Amino acid sequence: MKILVTGATGFIGRSTVSTLVDEGHTVVAAVRRLDSRSALPPGIVSFVVGEIGPNTDWTDCLDGVEAVIHLAGRAHLLNDTSADPVLAFDNVNVHGTIQLARAAISAGVKRFVFVSSIGVNGNGQNYPYKGAGYSEVDEPAPHDTYAFSKLKAEKELQELSTNSRLEVVIVRPPLVYGPGAPGNLALLMKLVKRGVPLPIK
């Protein structure tokens, strides 16, 4: 199967691409730019799409593609310097996603996998933990701008799916960890390596 992976050079993207190649799929990678950090396994065709948003041109990336795995997006930022964070998140995570989905429909793509966030469900359980965890039937309860943008994209994708032949699959992963994990987990690992007790519940 020919699969387009966005965010192919990211933390999750690299593992996704490697797994797909190992399973014999043809992978097309959409990247923001080509540089030394965007090197991918041999045989993968990369398309530079620039910044993702409502005007991104996906046409060349989607030629012959049967499925899309959309990993790219604007993630949590510890120090967001954007003048309008809501607009910045929506431009990438909502409008950029829908632009890609519409292009996928036009190209005859069969399946669109959207990697959302567990943050759509909420901000964790009360301590000490007593609940049964989240379920797909739980009412969404996003708690920050990032999670709200992911929920908006989910809803628009579902609407597109009901009005087209595109099968939409939404995945809400919790924290993804492993060697080279970025963000808060990387920060926590640095603190643990210092050997200082952390007052964390």
Token pair belonging to 51 = 């910044």
How far apart CA 75 and CA 95 sit, in angstroms, is 15
Q: Which amino acid is at 46?
A: S
Half-sphere exposure of 187 (CA within 13 A, CB side): 4
In single-letter form, the type of residue at position 108 comes to: G
Spell out the residues 6+ positions from residue 155 whose beta carbon is closer than 8 angstroms to its own.
none
Give the burial class of 129: count Cβ atoms within 10 A of its Cβ; 0-12 exposed, 13-18 middle, 19 or more buried.
exposed
Distance between CA atoms of 71 and 116, rounded to whole angstroms? 8
Does the annotation mark 177 as catalytic? no
Which of 127, 129, 134, 146 is labelled catalytic?
146
Catalytic residue numbers, as ranges: 146
